[in-house]
Structure 1
Amino acid sequence: MTEIYRDTPMAKAIFEMFDNLADFLEDRGAKPGSCKAYIFGGCALHLHTNARGSSDLDIELEAMERISPNELVLALDEVFFDDPETGPSSIVFDPNFTPTLAPLHEDYQEDAIWLNRNEEDSPIWVYLVQKVDLAVSKLGRYGDQDIDDIHTLFDHGLSIEEFKYRAEEARKYFPGNLNRLTGNITHVIKTYTK
């Protein structure tokens, strides 16, 4: 089983944000599991590795009936916490995040880790994308931070073979430049040093 870092100050802030979202949805009469949230980005990296985090919570929201992202932005205040290395910090909900332009395997939602399984009566079920799907998603933008993040995931147990296989599978569904994506896969593996 994959280790999830749930007890860091940042992780606690992430879960507080989801508790606030659950309260917001309950106030609007949402039924258990009527919303699913998939965590990506720096927050997902932090939960998987306890490495760097992010000040914005990148989530894909599914099945949000009658609630717009703008309502969520107004309803969800930023969550403050003390980071042991950088001091006072906060996390905000990013309403502009979408994973649709990133390469992703077709099974990323099915394979995601259900983080609040013990809260089945919650209106929001929170999922963390697997390390491999987080790494593959970072091949789209592929900036310096994305390369570092993929290497960090390799350092924390993601095998290069699993990454390469999943990235090649995701390539079949990628709407962008396939030559660039293939080059990114090759580059990130070639530049990794243990």
Structure 2
Amino acid sequence: MGLITLADHVHDIAENSINAKAKNVRLVIKETDEIFYFLIEDDAGGIRPDILEKIFDPFVTTRKKEIRRVGLGLPFLKQSAEATGGYVKVYSEYGKGTRTEALFYKSHIDCQPVGNLVDTFLVLLLNQNIKWFITRCYNDNCYEISSETIREYLGVLDTPEKIKALSEMLEELESSIKE
């Protein structure tokens, strides 16, 4: 599965929202020298209660069996977060949406590296069927970006030049909060 960085976990959980046909996804990442926290909230219709109670079981998935026989993303996320002394919480209201939160303690020896969040954001924002709302904080510095704002400045992301411009913009934003 290749979930070797925290950015990989963020991408994996966001992909769950995409696969569940969310129209709006809010992603919040807060990082300090000590912690890495993320929240992903969607309006994809939620998880059935019978599935929600088994959500961390690696043999439970809502995907068609021809596509995927096991669901490993959430169990791997839970194992990785708890190995650092952190947690994963999943809240879902069937018919409404799902909220997933995870906390990692970065100073713990078992904490994975953060990884490339810029590329994660870029890949997610390229899915233009979803309205993305991203808040990224590092210590006390934050930025926000949304798919609507990107469309205002770049239009439809339909050329390599526009995608490169978005990538450079994300790199600049990421650099600005770490200075």
Tell me the TM-score normalized by structure 2. 0.35
Give the helix-richer structure, 1 or 2: 1
Give the number of the structure whose residues are more often strand, by fraction: 2
Q: TM-score normalised to the size of structure 1? A: 0.33
